[in-house]
Amino acid sequence: MVAGHGKTSRREGPMPAGGYHHRPAGKSAICCRGKMWHRPGVYTRGAMRYVARNQPLATLESEPSVTTKRPRFQIPHVFVLLLGVILLCSLLTWVIPSGAYDRETKVIEGHERTLLVPGTYAPLPKHYSLEGALLGDEAPGHAAPVGLVDFLAAVPRGMEGAADIIFFIFIIGGTFGILQRTGVITASIDRLLRKLGNRGSLLTAVLMVVLGIGGSTLGMGEEFIPLVPVFLIVSKRLGYDRIYGMALVIVATEVGFAASTLNPFTVCVAQGIAELPLTSGMGFRIVFFACAMALAITYLILYGRRIQADPARSCMPDDPFEIEAGGEAAAHYHPHHTAILIMGTVIFLFVVFAVQQYGWWMDRMAGGFLLIGILAAAMARLPLEEATKAFVKGMEEMVVAALVVGFAKGISVVLADGQIMDTIVHGAATMLSTVPRYFAAIGMLCFQSTLNLLIPSGSGQAAVTMPLMAPLSDILGITRQTAVFAFTCGDGFSNSVIPTSGILMAMLSLAKIPYGRWLRFMLPLFGLLMLLSALFLTIAVAIGYR
């Protein structure tokens, strides 16, 4: 043992002829800022090593570490995660009994909706076989668990079912590529921030309120996907990280969805199914919108100040956060940039209007964004070859964002094939009917949030659950308006964390944010918003919210 040390000395390097030579008496090593310099050709006890002649001087910092850190658990890539969920749902079809409610078609808000008929649930006989486990079983008259072939086909079938959204995302990417090449986005943001000065918090609040109102009144979600690259540039210019720019869009949107006032895809559908007057109970939801939005804005501003003070406290501290600035035109603001901005804003607002008034959907919305790209290239006088390359490059950036929607859609394909969704809903409704009304209201919130993992569609979830939750609320002594409020909160807030939300996953892919890093930022805020929802639900039960 070496004196003064608790470990046996480990001598490195071959033993020289004549043995080791110790430091001559009266000589000492030179220490400079933690570095121990030694005369070559001596064995130094303090450094525990032999330094051979003509060998570069060693330092204590260069000593290789003998301890290894255990690797931290990392959430896998989104494709692996979603494929795992599809596999889990496929396995559940072998465990959970199949069953079904009768369906009926009703016209709600000018659209036909297929709804469950309460009290008609009946179990379905399920056929198990080795052939079905491998190739699937499509024999009529009974249910069958999902087999290997059906599991593998779930993703292609999901992409087929979500083809309109997938191509919509590709068109958005191409249009944004052209806009980036014209320099209009970067130049406009730089000009705006120069006028605002050092008021990033004010800009954050204004942007989130505007987007939140869009989600609350018009149900805008997919329409905001093109804003992610724009808000990333805003975040970069303000000195924040990727997560800040992403949160500006998705958090504001989902707060608006949760506190729906006129959202035609959630609250209007749910109220129509519950046989409530449309837009009724709006005052209570407006107050909730204000409180939830204030909480979200405060959380995001505090996060921004934290990472400005210490970038290492970011949820992505190792991210260089580099964004392509665009073409040469991005350096200065030109008159044609104003014309492009006006043109793009007018077409965008018309598309939103057409969705509400004429029932436009993904194909025509994509056509509107394609027109923006074509006109922007013409107004910026981009050569055809240059504009085409920018369009293709923009589409390439959207590949993961588009395909993840198809993977997420594959989950609903598996659940429909196994016919277990109605069984899950029936079991939850039966369980909620046995608890006191205050706990039942919060239970509805938790159930809707959990079910959103399997049915990440607001109108689809309303069609499945509200025909049961509305009469169940009558039995429990809870107003139907409260049941609708529990549905909108559960559906809205969970869209910001569940991996099956196509919009969330598309935005994360576009922003190049790993899902695990996003959860690290979002889960605390999600918990606070759910607690706020539970508080308002308790108040709703107490006052008989109608």
**Could you state, in order of their start, the residue ranges of all structural domains in the chain?**
1-60, 80-161+407-543, 167-265+277-398
Instruction: Give me the pLDDT at residue 288, please.
Output: 96
- pLDDT category of residue 416 using cuts at 50, 70 and 90: confident
Q: How far is CA 199 from CA 204, 229, 250, 499, in A?
A: 9, 21, 21, 34
- pLDDT reading at 251 higher than 90: yes
Question: Whole-angstrom Cα distance, residue 370 to residue 394?
Answer: 12
Collapsing DSSP states into helix, strand and coil, what is residue 514?
coil
The single residue listed with the structure tokens 């018009």 is 218
Instruction: Give me the pLDDT at residue 18, please.
Output: 46
Q: Following DSSP, what letter does each residue of 450-494 receive, concatenated?
A: HHTTT---HHHHHHHHHHHHHHHHHHHT--HHHHHHHHHHHHHHH
- pLDDT reading at 304 higher than 80: yes
Instruction: Give me the pLDDT at residue 59, please.
Output: 42
The angle that helices 148-161 and 78-92 make with each other, rounded to 10 degrees, is 120
Give the list of residues 6+ apart from residue 88 with CB closer than 8 angstroms, or none: none
> What own/partner pairs with CB < 8 Å and gap ≥ 24 does 352-357 have?
352/218, 352/220, 352/223, 355/218, 355/223, 356/218, 356/264
Three-state secondary structure of 252-284 = HHHHHHHCCCCCCCCHHHHHHHCCCCCCCCHHH
Average pLDDT over residues 280-306: 95
Average pLDDT over residues 76-81: 83
- pLDDT category of residue 52 using cuts at 50, 70 and 90: very low
Average pLDDT over residues 96-105: 88
Average pLDDT over residues 526-540: 96
- 154-190 pLDDT, tens digit per residue, is 999 999 988 888 898 899 889 988 988 888 877 887 7
- pLDDT reading at 147 higher than 70: yes
- pLDDT reading at 458 higher than 90: no
pTM above 0.85, yes or no: no
Question: Whole-angstrom Cα distance, residue 134 to residue 152?
Answer: 11
Instruction: Give me the pLDDT at residue 530, please.
Output: 96
- pLDDT reading at 365 higher than 70: yes
- pLDDT category of residue 198 using cuts at 50, 70 and 90: low
The single residue listed with the structure tokens 């901005």 is 341
Question: Whole-angstrom Cα distance, residue 417 to residue 195?
Answer: 56
Collapsing DSSP states into helix, strand and coil, what is residue 107?
strand
The encoded tokens of residue 272 equal 């129509």
Give the list of residues 6+ apart from residue 231 with CB closer than 8 angstroms, or none: 207, 245, 246, 248, 249
End-to-end CA distance of the chain: 81
Highest mean pLDDT among 48-62, 174-188, 257-271, 373-387 belongs to 373-387
Average pLDDT over residues 147-155: 90
Instruction: Give me the pLDDT at residue 324, please.
Output: 56
* Residues 214 and 259: beta-carbon distance below 8 Å: no
Give the list of residues 6+ apart from residue 202 with CB closer than 8 angstroms, or none: 196
Instruction: Give me the pLDDT at residue 109, please.
Output: 61
Rg (CA), the chain: 30
Q: How far is CA 439 from CA 307, 369, 442, 538, 542, in A?
A: 39, 46, 5, 9, 12
* Residues 519 and 476: beta-carbon distance below 8 Å: no
Nearest to 41 by CA among 49, 266, 101: 49
Burial grade of 521 (CB within 10 A; 0-12, 13-18, 19 or more): buried
- 221-235 pLDDT, tens digit per residue, is 877 888 888 899 889
- pLDDT reading at 290 higher than 90: yes
Least confident of 51-55, 205-209, 231-235, 296-300: 51-55
- pLDDT reading at 295 higher than 90: yes
- pLDDT category of residue 5 using cuts at 50, 70 and 90: very low
Least confident of 30-44, 75-89, 222-236, 417-431: 30-44
